[in-house]
Amino acid sequence: MTIELVGMDEAAKNVRKQGSKILRDIANAYNQGVLDDPGSSYMFCSLLACICEGKVEGSFDEEKKKIQWALTEKYHAALLEAQERQTDETEKLDNVVRGPWK
């Protein structure tokens, strides 16, 4: 899988698409103290970066009144393809212990 950097215009477009969800989640993160904890705030900022890159999209869960973030179909497919490619390459190596897992 190649890393594709997005430009400012693409990042801004992705943020605008998810804008209301991002704002709701920022307020929720603030309310829960996520922004006060360095580890949690780092993870939250990583989520925001994934939104900018178009790797994640959100939906509002009416029942829980929270935003649910999930990988986009395109990014999910790219990750599965990378996993398959890595598995294929690993199986060709002589020093790999093969087990019952897949």
Residue 93 pLDDT > 90: no
83 Cβ neighbours under 8 A, 6+ residues apart: none
DSSP alpha helix (H) spans, the chain: 8-17, 19-32, 38-52, 73-91
Per-domain boundaries in the chain = 8-91
Residue-wise pLDDT for 37-92, tens only, equals: 999 999 999 999 999 999 999 999 999 889 999 999 999 999 999 999 998 888 88
Residue-wise pLDDT for 13-52, tens only, equals: 999 999 999 999 999 999 999 999 999 999 999 999 999 9
Give dist(CA 63, CA 91) in Å, integer: 45
